[in-house]
């Protein structure tokens, strides 16, 4: 862990702070100001003139162990490596499972989460998958959330022909178990909802909210580009809505823009679905016509598109992948570059290309080149 002084960067923390020096020490942001000259030996000084600094990206929807599997064993997506994250500017991530929880498991996901933490990222995960009842590590949703420090909540699929189609009673029980475990462990208790394009939309979520006293804040529907007509209304009620970055940045940017116009900014986030399958199905859902794979490389171009093509102020666009996500996950030292925050820093050039990435103060990428390789490469 190095002591690093970044000089003369254009800083967004994510609020705009102008030209600043950023001093990173002990894995944290130690000082922010102008003309900083730390009186310490061994400080690595980097001239950041012409570069923009903002918090490392927080990606809350990543298939660490790979997704896919809807078109036979050959369609299983390989697991991700350290450099998939760092070269995309991601320093904090949440792993999850998808359709396939037979050849992938919560235990394997937890092991991969621990490995990424050992390699220098900050990694968490969700228990569960598409199946009902949910697959877990300990045999209990509540115990997974209570006793496993990396587990922040549960993943479930709704309105999707591949999903487990929980009944209202099953969905209520799942959410209550997560909430109880989260209260004990001091966690957010996320119910992360894969939203397919099926007929019910958010109907089951609203049924649960009507039938119980559970706070809407626990429920985090993602892939909301499919349901942009419902996204703003859900956010206005107090929920958080997540949109999936795409290889075509406009496909994410446009629904995000529409939602930003109608809902509080702090309740809107973007994630990558990296490592997850993006299948194209026939109209009757009987035949898969093709399959793409989500990539973290799609995140930063989406922010660039919002800023450059749609004139969104950088501080508003950056929040969608930093502070908003971190606050929603109750990660108080993530998603910001204020004094005391974790030293997760992304430096980009004038064209929004990645120049430098630091995770916990450790240089992962420098001058666009990988510095730290995966343990096994």
Q: Which residue carries 């690595």 as its tokens?
A: 44
Q: How many residues does the chain have?
A: 377
| Catalytic residue flag (residue 273) | yes
Q: In this structure, what token pair is assigned to residue 231?
A: 């996204």
Task: Kindly name the residue from 273, 327, 342, 344 that is annotated as catalytic.
Answer: 273
Number of continuous H segments (helices) and E segments (strands) in the chain: 10, 19
Q: Round to whole Å and give the CA distance between 374 and 377.
A: 6
CB environment 25-42: b (16+ within 10 A), e (fewer): bebbbbebeeebeeeeee
Which residues face 247 on adjacent strands? Answer: none
Distances from the Cα of 126 to the Cα of 79, 107, 123, angstroms: 16, 11, 11
Q: How many CB atoms lie within 10 A of CB 167?
A: 10
Q: Round to whole Å and give the CA distance between 181 and 188.
A: 10
Q: Tell me 77's DSSP state.
A: P
Catalytic residue annotation: 273
């Amino acid at each position: 862990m190095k002591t690093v002084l970044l000089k003369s960067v254009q800083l967004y923390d994510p609020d705009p702070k102008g030209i600043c020096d950023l001093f990173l020490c002990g894995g944290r942001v130690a000082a922010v100001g102008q003309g900083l000259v730390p009186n310490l030996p061994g400080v690595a000084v980097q001239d950041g003139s012409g570069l923009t600094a903002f918090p490392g990206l927080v990606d809350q929807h990543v298939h660490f162990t790979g997704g896919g599997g809807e078109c036979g064993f050959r369609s299983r997506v390989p697991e991700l490596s350290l450099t998939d994250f760092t070269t995309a500017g991601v320093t904090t991530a949440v792993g999850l499972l998808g359709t396939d929880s037979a050849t992938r498991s919560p235990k394997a996901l937890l092991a991969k989460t621990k490995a990424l933490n050992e390699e220098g990222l900050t990694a968490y995960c969700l228990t569960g998958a598409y199946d009902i009842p949910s697959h877990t590590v300990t045999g209990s949703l509540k115990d997974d959330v209570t006793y496993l420090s990396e587990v922040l909540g549960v993943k479930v699929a709704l309105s999707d022909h591949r999903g487990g189609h929980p009944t209202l009673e099953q969905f209520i029980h799942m959410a209550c178990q997560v909430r109880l475990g989260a209260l004990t462990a001091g966690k957010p208790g996320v119910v992360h909802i894969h939203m397919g394009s099926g007929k019910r939309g958010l109907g089951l979520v609203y049924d649960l909210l009507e039938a119980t006293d559970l706070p809407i804040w626990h429920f985090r529907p993602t892939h909301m580009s499919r349901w942009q007509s419902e996204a703003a209304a859900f956010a206005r009620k107090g929920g958080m809505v997540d949109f999936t970055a795409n290889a075509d940045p406009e496909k994410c940017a446009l629904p995000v823009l529409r939602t930003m116009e109608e809902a509080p900014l702090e309740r809107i986030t973007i994630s990558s679905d990296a490592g997850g399958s993006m299948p194209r199905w026939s109209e009757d859902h009987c035949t898969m016509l093709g399959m793409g794979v989500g990539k973290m490389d799609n995140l930063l171009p989406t922010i660039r598109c919002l800023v450059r093509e749609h004139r969104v102020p950088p501080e508003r666009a950056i929040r969608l992948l930093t502070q908003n996500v971190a606050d929603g996950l109750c990660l108080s030292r993530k998603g910001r570059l204020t004094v005391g925050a974790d030293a997760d820093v992304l430096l980009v050039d004038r064209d929004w290309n990645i120049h430098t990435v630091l995770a916990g103060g450790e240089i992962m990428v420098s001058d666009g080149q990988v510095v730290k390789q995966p343990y096994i490469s």
